[in-house]
Every structure is written in C-alpha cells, then in structure tokens.
Amino acid sequence: MRFAYGLRLIAAIVALFSLSGLSGPPGATAADMVVLGGGAGIVVNGQTVCTLTAIGNDNQGNLVGFTSAHCGGPGATVSAEQALGAGTLGAMVSGNDALDYAVIKFDRAKVTPVSNYSGFQISGLGSDPAFGLVACKLGRTTGYSCGVTWGPGEQPGTILSQVCGRPGDSGAPVTVGNQLVGMIHGAFSEDLPTCVVKYVPLHTPAVAESISAILADLNAKGRPGAGFVPVP
C-alpha cells in the first residue's frame, strides 16, 4: 500500500513538472516572440532604419515581409527597432532596385505576425487607387498620415498621394480602405517640406511603389515572396 501510494505521488510530481515546463529544456514562449506588422520600424544590417510594409505568407509557405530595396540588399539582416535585444529576425532574400522593393524572409520561431500594428490595419491587397481616393500610411518616423491620391507617378509602377514621409519611413505601407496598395519610396520633390509642419500646411506628395507591380514582378520571376498574402 505504501509503495503504491509512493508511485502515485511520484507520478503526480512528474505531471506537475511537465505542465510547468520544468521537465525539459525551455522553448520559445509568447513573451519571447517579437510582434511585427505593417508600419513597424526595422533595422537593416544593424544600422539602416526603415519601415516594414506588411507581413504574411508566400506560395512556398515562407513567412515574408517587404520594405524598400534602398534600405539593403539580398543577405542583409533585419531586426526590430522596438526589440533590438531579440537580435536578427530575418534576412533579405530578393528584390528589385527598379521597383525599389526588397523581400524579407522571417524566422517563424521569433516573430508573431499581425495584420493590425499600432492601430494600422491591413485587411488585404488592393489595386492602384484612382484619383481622389484617400490613402493612409504608417511610418516609423512620421507615424500615421492620410492624403488624397493624385494618380500614377512619373515612373512606371508608382503612385502619387498626399501622405507624408521622411527618412526612416521608406517601405511604409500605403493603404486605401485598409487594403494595401503600395509602399513609401520617397518624396516627389525636395522643393517643399515632406510633411505638414507648423505654419507650413502644404507639403510635397509622396511617391509609393505599387504593391500590384511588385507582386506581378515577383510572381513572374517565381522568387521568394511570390503569391504573397498578408496575415489575416
């Protein structure tokens, strides 16, 4: 009887340790994961600060995201600005300088992808917006801003709108009705301020790379990022 009781006691202790995670090596927990979504600040190669356009899955099942190609090239490491202590979370694996986009492949063991980052929602992919539609963006430098869409930019595959952007906003998502339509490339002109400032209510439009043009390029080449779908 005492022996049977002893076995039951040992079994109970082992079960308790298993439930508490003390029976084996600790693994990654939710607290260890870095939350990333469109509009998050990222650091490329430990020095260049840019903005993540969006995060989701490609047709190969990779967890991928986008930012501007001028932030870094293939092989460049990517970390989160708000969690530098977490180290490298991914690396750039493909891109196109002409369309100024880079694809980042993230480590699923380190990243929690979200469709709503800091209140900025990306619900899906949209086509190039027509004149007059209101576009919005979230950048790590200038935050949230909206403005009217003027139409196609001077370069093929670009969109011109009255959102604002400054250094560090490169790659920032541009949405219309919560649908991702592009990423910030830069300012249309240096003759005017790039964002609304005190006593200067007028600023230069921003140029965004079209997400439709980016995905068409990726899909045609079959590179990582092809078939991209934002996280739901």
Dist CA 155 CA 132 (whole Å): 20
Q: Which residue has the higher pLDDT, 6 or 167?
A: 167
Strands 111-113 and 34-36: parallel
- Check residue 95 and give its pLDDT: 93
pLDDT on residue 186 = 81
pLDDT exceeds 60 at position 197 = no
Confidence of residue 11 (pLDDT cuts 50, 70, 90): very low
pLDDT per position as a tens digit, 16-32: 434 333 333 344 556 68
**Which pairs from 199-203 meet CB under 8 Å and 24+ separation?**
203/162, 203/164
Model confidence at 1: pLDDT above 50: no
As a whole number, the mean pLDDT across the chain is 86
Residue 204: pLDDT band (50, 70, 90) is confident
Quick one: pLDDT at residue 32? 81
State pTM to two decimals. Answer: 0.83
List the single range of 136-140, 165-169, 189-193 with lowest mean pLDDT.
Answer: 189-193
As a whole number of angstroms, the distance between CA 61 and CA 50 comes to 25
Largest CA distance in the chain: 90
What residue ranges define each of the domains in the chain, with the CATH number in brackets? 30-117 (2.40.10.10), 121-217 (2.40.10.10)
